[in-house]
Amino acid sequence: MGIRGQLTLLVPGVVAIALTVVAFIAVRQTNRDALEEFKELNLTALEALSVTVATSVAQNDIAGLDTVVAHAAERLEARGLVELAVLDDDGRVMAHSSPERFNRLLTDPFSRQAIEADGPVWLREGAFLRLGTPAKSGIRWATVTARFSLERLEDDFSMSRRRAALGTLGLFLFIAGAVFLGLNRVVIRPVKALEHSVRRMGEGHLSTRVPPMVAGRELRELGDIINRMAQALQAERENLERTVTERTRELQEANARLERLAVTDGLTGLFNHRRFQEALHSELLRCERHKRPLAVLMLDVDFFKKVNDSLGHPAGDELLRRLAEVLSKDLRQTDLIARYGGEEFAVLLPETTKAEALQVGERMREAVEARINENTTWPQRITVSVGVATFPEDARSAEALLEASDQALYVAKRQGRNRVVGAKAA
């Protein structure tokens, strides 16, 4: 049986609730009728009393009026009478169930309304009911007013409401239990299972499946559809993850190649001019902050043009590649060497004083002279000239440091080449 048929079994519960609502409406209407009956009964008694009051007032028999009011008050006390009064046209008390209120002037709105009305009037004031009627005998002689307590009537009303409430509560609990058990088995548990499975799938656990359910046909079919969808999504995601992994790896490799190309000299494999400039500025900032030395070496191949002119540019390129191997061989991991341009190389030596940098430059010069010229047929002996400048001794900015090392290189050239020259302190 489908969900629709199963839920149809719960309709009697809805009917029970509807009957309960009708019962409460009936109780409310009964209370209204009881109040109306109470009002009419006491108003009839007041109207009967008003005839006797009119006769006494017409005869100016005040003593008899007091007796009439006292007897009426005693008779009506069982009905909840609180006070009974006879008023003249000005609102002055001519007789009262409490003698001490005789001759007082009543100016409250209800008293004025009763005096001015041609017939009976009434007003409910919280737990009290006020009634008023004219006392006529041919003409109007006075007005009779009374105030009744509704406490007993309210007690009856409360008892009726409590009975209705208890009945409603019992019916509600019975129906709620039936609805809860029915819905829990037919709807709640299957929907919770669906919700849990779909949430897990939404969180990425596509291997989750909706468990078999004993619910209606529609929910079972929905569970099967969700399982098929999850299976298809899982297969698609696995394919997509494989594709993304492959593309990501290819992209990372391409980016790495591009990054290397962007900072590497294609001929020698050393860093290029751009990477050297970036490293120089970065190291200079660090050295300024920590008050540490920094050295820059500029190296240039002596008479490099003769190699190109004699052996051709391929031989010149081969010489530059061999120079790159020799120059970078003995450097520290923190040092950086770059092809600065043409046959010129630049070396960055962090944490290196001028004396130490001159020693490094000399070792590099000697290595070139010794290794490059072994078993070769160069048109001349291959040597390099080296210019050395340090921060902060020779310069305090990147541009000034490069300029100082470059000037030292030119001095080495002018002094005969194949030598290391330090810049003059600024």
Condensed to tens digits (0 to 9), the pLDDT of residues 141-153 reads 899 998 999 888 7
Q: Which of 155, 177, 195 is the last residue of a domain?
A: 155
Q: Do 119 and 100 meet the contact criterion of CB atoms below 8 Å apart?
A: no
Q: Which of 119, 135, 155 is the last residue of a domain?
A: 155
Do 40 and 130 reside in the same domain of the chain? yes
CATH number at residue 367: 3.30.70.270
Q: Which of 235, 263, 291 is the last residue of a domain?
A: 263
**Nearest by Cα to 302 from 387, 359, 360:** 387
Q: Which residues of the chain have pLDDT under 70?
A: 1-16, 19, 23, 172, 176, 179-187, 213-216, 256, 426
What pLDDT does residue 222 have? Answer: 78
Do 277 and 397 reside in the same domain of the chain? yes
What pLDDT does residue 411 have? Answer: 96
Q: Do 146 and 130 meet the contact criterion of CB atoms below 8 Å apart?
A: yes
In sequence order, the 6+-apart residues with CB closer than 8 A to the CB of 415 are 421
Do 256 and 287 reside in the same domain of the chain? no
Q: Do 407 and 399 meet the contact criterion of CB atoms below 8 Å apart?
A: no
Do 38 and 7 reside in the same domain of the chain? yes
CA 157 to chain centre: 50
Domain count, the chain: 3
Q: Do 230 and 257 meet the contact criterion of CB atoms below 8 Å apart?
A: no
Identify the DSSP state of 77: G
What pLDDT does residue 203 have? Answer: 78
Q: Do 372 and 315 meet the contact criterion of CB atoms below 8 Å apart?
A: no
Q: What is the pTM of this model?
A: 0.46
Q: Is 177 within the bounds of a domain? A: no
Do 229 and 97 reside in the same domain of the chain? no
Q: Distance between CA 39 and CA 356 in Å, rounded?
A: 120
Q: Is 242 within the bounds of a domain? A: yes
Q: Tokens 């001015």, residue?
A: 116
Q: Do 320 and 343 meet the contact criterion of CB atoms below 8 Å apart?
A: yes
Do 67 and 132 reside in the same domain of the chain? yes
Please give the helix or strand (H or E) that residue 129 lies within, else none. Answer: strand 128-137
Other CB atoms within 10 Å distance of the CB of residue 358: 19
Instruction: Please give the residue range of the domain that contains residue 225.
Output: 204-263
Q: Is 187 within the bounds of a domain? A: no
Do 233 and 281 reside in the same domain of the chain? no
What pLDDT does residue 388 have? Answer: 97
Do 88 and 219 reside in the same domain of the chain? no
Q: Distance between CA 403 and CA 407 in Å, rounded?
A: 6
Residue-wise pLDDT for 235-294, tens only, equals 888 888 888 888 878 888 777 677 777 789 989 999 999 999 999 999 999 999 999 999
